[in-house]
Structures are given as C-alpha cells and as structure tokens.
C-alpha cells in the first residue's frame, strides 16, 4: 500500500513540473490508470490535455502513441493491417498506433462511428483482432481520448457503447490567474522534453494488482448499487447507468483509496467519484435537456437523496 501511494505521489509531482495546478485531475487520471480503465477529457483546446498525457507517459517510462482522429481515418489506421510479404509468401501484421501503453486519441469525435468502434475491443479486452487473428496489447494500457464540447461542425458524437467504455470523463478547465502566469513563465523553458521517468511499467502492473485487493465493505457496495439504480429511476433520465457503471465506480473508488493511503473504500470516495464515473453514462429525456437539465445535476440530486452509510470500514 505504501509503495502504491509513493508511486502515485512521485508521478503526480513529476507531472506538476509541466502541468501547473490541476492536482485533482492528475489524480483522477492516475485512478483510471491503476483501475485499468480509460479517460475521456471533454474540454476546449489549449488547456493542457496533450501535455497531461505526454507527461504521464514520460513519468511512467511508458510507450506513448498519438492518434489524430480525422474524418478520413480508417479502422485499419488505428488497429493495424496485414500486409503480404512477397519474400516469405505470407501475410505479416503491421501494428497500428493503438499498440502503445499510453495512447492519446486526440479529437476522437472528429472521425466516423465506424472508426470510433475500432477502439471498442482494445479498450474493453486489451487486444486487437485483425483478419481473425488476435493480438494482445502491451500492458499497462491506457487510452486518454479528447473531444471539444463547443465545436460541433464536422464531428460525430460518441455512441453510448463507446462512452460506456470510458471509466471516467473529466474536464480540465481554465487555470486560475496566478497559475496562468506560471504557465506563461514556464513555457519558455520547455520542461516536458526534459521530464525523467519516476516509475516503471512493472510498478504500475503491481499497483493495479493491489487495487483489486482494496476492501469494499458490504454497506459501501450497497451504497454504490443504490446510487446507480437511482439513476435509472430518476424522472429526468431516459437511460440510466448499467451494471458496468457500478463496477466502474467500485474499481475507481478502490484505486482512489489506495492512492490516498487506505486499504479500504470510504463512502466519501464513492461520493467524490460518482459524477466523473457515472455522468457520461446517463441519457436524459429530451424535455429535461430542453429545460437545462444535465447529467451532473441529476447526479447531484441522486447523491442528495441516497443515504450515505456510516463509515465503519477498516483494514482487513
């Protein structure tokens, strides 16, 4: 447990050398990494989405790949393609950019649903199947996708099945004035290229195994289930979170607890992560959206209605 917390702290501090502020957002990305999930960052251009991903890859010593999604991108441009080798008389597989450990799917909503769906198998199962042959992806494996929520021209909204594959959806937001002054000052130093690894892939894999051992008390499990079920019963919701949402909330809470030095999940971990874990899994009724309803407002309402269990969990 101590080693996992030290790893998370070292990576967080290393990223903050190039990413001013945003401690909570960095911590949430680490939650997704340790929980074996993926992250969708929905924010305007220029707030540091790419910097965050590249700094994470450098801090972990992991292989970084970037996929720039465009309308003419094909599924084979993501997953790879089999090419006939005249010398051997056989087809050889040439892996695509998805074969990385930290993959930036930049502006994922600018490509067609057909190409977006090429990520489904890799994100859910950690593998790619091309021409009937399955190829495992390197581990650890983290997809961090970005999309611009303001610009809609020439974009394709992510289908619900794709959104459901993301463990968390985050917004980075604009920096405070004092943070922005520091960003401008540091921009002349270009520190990202000089960022050194502070962890290794093996340490991340070991930490992921420890996350699964974090204790979730039955009352906290029941709290998670009641929260998710209440999203399905809310009058503003057309389609609530699925059982995958319950699993995602439990796994992310386990990772957050371990990062913060506990080997058990507290109800506050669940309350903190519920908006970023469940909001993108909700589909609101048209009339609710018309009157200004949002998934975040629904979750705030749900969290206020479901009783929080008394924290009695301790280390096993």
The rounded Cα 35 to chain-centroid distance in angstroms is 10
Q: Are 33 and 108 a contacting pair, CB within 8 Å?
A: no
The DSSP element (H or E) to which 271 belongs, if any, is helix 267-278
Q: How many CB atoms lie within 10 A of CB 252?
A: 27
Closest residue by Cα to residue 185 from 44, 48, 20: 20
3-state helix, strand, coil in the chain (%, to 5): 50, 15, 35
108-142 tens-digit pLDDT: 888 888 888 888 888 989 899 888 889 999 999 99
pLDDT at 178: 84
229-286 tens-digit pLDDT: 999 999 999 988 999 999 999 999 999 999 998 989 999 999 999 999 999 999 999 9
**In this model, does residue 288 exceed pLDDT 90?**
no
Res. 315 pLDDT band, cuts 50 70 90: very low
pLDDT at 112: 87
pLDDT at 58: 87
* Matching residue, tokens 């506990």: 262
Closest residue by Cα to residue 16 from 56, 57, 60: 56
**In this model, does residue 57 exceed pLDDT 80?**
yes
pLDDT at 7: 86
* Matching residue, tokens 């599924």: 75
Q: How many CB atoms lie within 10 A of CB 234?
A: 19
- Residue 278 CA to residue 246 CA, distance in Å, equals 9
Give SS3 for 237: strand
Q: Are 229 and 5 a contacting pair, CB within 8 Å?
A: no
Summary mean pLDDT of the chain: 87
What are 275's two structure tokens? 């908006």
The DSSP element (H or E) to which 173 belongs, if any, is none
- Residue 75 CA to residue 81 CA, distance in Å, equals 9
- The structure's pTM equals 0.89
Spell out the domain ranges in the chain: 2-206, 214-305
**In this model, does residue 191 exceed pLDDT 80?**
no
Question: Spelled out in words, what is the top-level CATH class assigned to the domain 214-305?
Answer: mainly alpha
Mean pLDDT of the 143-165 span: 80
Res. 190 pLDDT band, cuts 50 70 90: low
**In this model, does residue 15 exceed pLDDT 60?**
yes
76-93 tens-digit pLDDT: 999 998 888 888 888 888
pLDDT at 136: 93
Q: Are 240 and 282 a contacting pair, CB within 8 Å?
A: yes
With a pLDDT cut of 90, the percent of the chain lying above it is 37
Q: Which residue has the higher pLDDT, 172 or 36?
A: 36
**CATH of span 2-206:** 3.40.50.300
Q: Which residue has the higher pLDDT, 302 or 42?
A: 302
Q: Which residue has the higher pLDDT, 13 or 151?
A: 13
């Amino acid at each position: 447990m101590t080693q996992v917390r030290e790893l998370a702290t070292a990576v967080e501090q290393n990223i903050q050398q190039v990413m001013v502020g945003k401690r909570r957002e960095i911590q949430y990305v680490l939650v997704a990494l340790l929980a074996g999930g993926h992250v969708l960052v929905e924010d305007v251009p220029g707030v540091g989405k790419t910097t965050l991903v590249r700094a994470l890859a450098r801090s972990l010593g992991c292989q970084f790949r970037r996929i720039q999604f465009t309308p003419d991108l094909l599924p084979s441009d993501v997953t790879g393609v089999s090419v006939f080798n005249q010398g051997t008389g056989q087809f050889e597989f040439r892996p695509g950019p998805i074969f990385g450990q930290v993959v930036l799917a930049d502006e994922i909503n600018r490509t067609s649903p057909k190409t977006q769906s090429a990520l489904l198998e890799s994100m859910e199962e950690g593998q790619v199947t091309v021409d009937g042959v399955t190829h495992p992806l390197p581990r650890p494996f983290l997809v961090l996708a970005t999309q611009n929520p303001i610009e809609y021209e020439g974009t394709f909204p992510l289908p619900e099945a794709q959104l459901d594959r993301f463990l968390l959806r985050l917004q980075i937001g604009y920096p405070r004035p004092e943070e922005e002054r520091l960003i401008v000052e540091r921009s002349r130093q270009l520190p990202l290229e000089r960022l050194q690894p502070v962890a290794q892939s093996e340490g991340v894999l070991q930490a992921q195994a420890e996350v699964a051992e974090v204790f979730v008390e039955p009352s906290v499990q029941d709290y998670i289930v009641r929260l998710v079920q209440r999203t399905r019963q809310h009058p503003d919701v057309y389609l609530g979170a699925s059982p995958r949402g319950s699993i995602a909330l439990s796994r992310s809470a386990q990772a957050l607890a371990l990062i913060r030095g506990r080997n058990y999940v507290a109800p506050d971990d669940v309350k903190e992560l519920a908006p970023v874990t469940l909001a993108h899994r909700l589909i609101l009724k048209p009339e609710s959206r018309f009157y200004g309803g949002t998934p975040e407002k629904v979750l705030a309402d749900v969290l206020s209605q479901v009783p929080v269990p008394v924290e009695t969990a301790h280390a096993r």
